[in-house]
């Protein structure tokens, strides 16, 4: 059983990398720091469809990883685990929605609208109206993500997961180094679109504790 859970956690870790690749197809060649959202949607349709199918694979892997994380929460926190895992579930579900609905479907809609004769200015008005609904969703996903991180950090530092406390430093320190590496590459190459894939890698910290925990259980 522990071996299966470890493999599920590993699937989640791989899923974050797969999702980062899917994001690269969306953001390469774009300026993600631009206030002009429409500029982010001027992506060839073949790249959008490629990102979509890679995202399908990544979604499956993330959901497998979630199963492992949920089982660890239930093992450690017992009944409370069913509630503590909810932010992670909602966060992962929200990320999937954002990728497909906003990352893929929205640019496809924009490209179709342009072909139909709708101007960029007209589409900007539609986008401004949509953002009033989408911004709260983005904020909610950020809160859910950080809530999950807080539970994981608590589980590690309190000893409930039976993991070494330095794992927290290794995980987030490692992520910070990855961000710096991507930022350096972007600075040297002028390709700032690669920074759009960094966020997906942060979810790896959801599954690393689960992987190490189940591997430890497997060795007992």
Read off the pLDDT of residues 98-130 as tens digits, 9 standing for 90 and up.
888 878 888 888 888 888 888 777 777 777 777
Angle at alpha carbon of residue 13, lines to 154 and 161, rounded to 5°: 25
Q: What is the pLDDT of residue 1?
A: 64
Q: Between helices 86-97 and 120-157, what is the axis angle to 10°?
A: 150
- Inform me whether the pLDDT recorded for 166 exceeds 90: yes
The residue that leads in pLDDT, 110 or 169, is: 169
Q: How many domains, the chain? A: 1
- Inform me whether the pLDDT recorded for 77 exceeds 90: yes
Q: What is the pLDDT of residue 129?
A: 73
Place 35 in a pLDDT band, splitting at 50, 70 and 90: low
Least confident of 10-14, 70-74, 114-118, 121-125: 121-125
The residue that leads in pLDDT, 211 or 129, is: 211
Q: What is the pLDDT of residue 170?
A: 95
Least confident of 10-14, 83-87, 133-137, 159-163: 133-137
Least confident of 72-81, 88-97, 129-138: 129-138
Q: What is the pLDDT of residue 128?
A: 72
Alpha carbons 37 and 220: distance in angstroms, whole number: 52
Mean pLDDT (whole number) for 6-22: 95
Q: Where are the beta strands (DSSP E) in 169-208?
A: none
Q: Which two tokens stand for residue 174?
A: 């490692």
Q: Which two tokens stand for residue 176?
A: 């910070």
- Inform me whether the pLDDT recorded for 97 exceeds 70: yes
Report helix, strand or coil for 191: coil
| Domain extent at residue 92 | 2-219
DSSP H or E segment with residue 135: helix 120-157
- Inform me whether the pLDDT recorded for 153 exceeds 80: yes
pTM: predicted TM-score of the whole model, two decimal places: 0.90
Give buried/exposed letters for 131-157 (b at 16+ CB in 10 A, else e): eeeeeeeeeebeebbebbbebbbebbe
Angle at alpha carbon of residue 52, lines to 184 and 175, rounded to 5°: 30
| Count helices and strands in the chain by DSSP H and E runs | 10, 0
Mean pLDDT (whole number) for 47-52: 93
- Inform me whether the pLDDT recorded for 198 exceeds 80: yes
Mean pLDDT (whole number) for 49-74: 94
- Inform me whether the pLDDT recorded for 64 exceeds 90: yes
């Amino acid at each position: 059983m522990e071996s299966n859970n470890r493999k599920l956690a590993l699937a989640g870790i791989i899923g974050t990398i797969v999702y980062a690749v899917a994001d690269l197809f969306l953001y390469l060649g774009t300026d993600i720091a631009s206030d002009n959202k429409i500029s982010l949607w001027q992506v060839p349709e073949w790249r959008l469809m490629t990102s979509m199918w890679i995202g399908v694979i990544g979604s499956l892997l993330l959901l497998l990883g979630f199963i492992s994380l949920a089982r660890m929460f239930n093992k450690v926190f017992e009944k409370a685990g069913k509630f503590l895992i909810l932010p992670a579930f909602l966060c992962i579900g929200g990320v999937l929605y954002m990728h497909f609905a906003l990352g893929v479907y929205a640019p496809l809609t924009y490209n179709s609208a342009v072909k139909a004769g709708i101007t960029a200015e007209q589409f900007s008005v539609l986008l401004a109206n949509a953002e009033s609904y989408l911004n709260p969703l983005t904020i909610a996903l950020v809160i859910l993500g950080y809530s999950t991180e807080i539970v994981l950090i608590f589980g590690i530092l309190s000893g409930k997961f039976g993991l070494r406390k330095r794992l927290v430093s290794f995980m987030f320190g490692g992520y910070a180094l990855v961000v710096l590496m991507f930022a350096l590459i972007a600075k040297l190459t002028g390709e700032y679109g690669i920074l759009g894939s960094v966020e997906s890698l942060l979810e790896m910290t959801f599954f690393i504790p689960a992987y190490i925990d189940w591997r430890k259980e497997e060795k007992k």
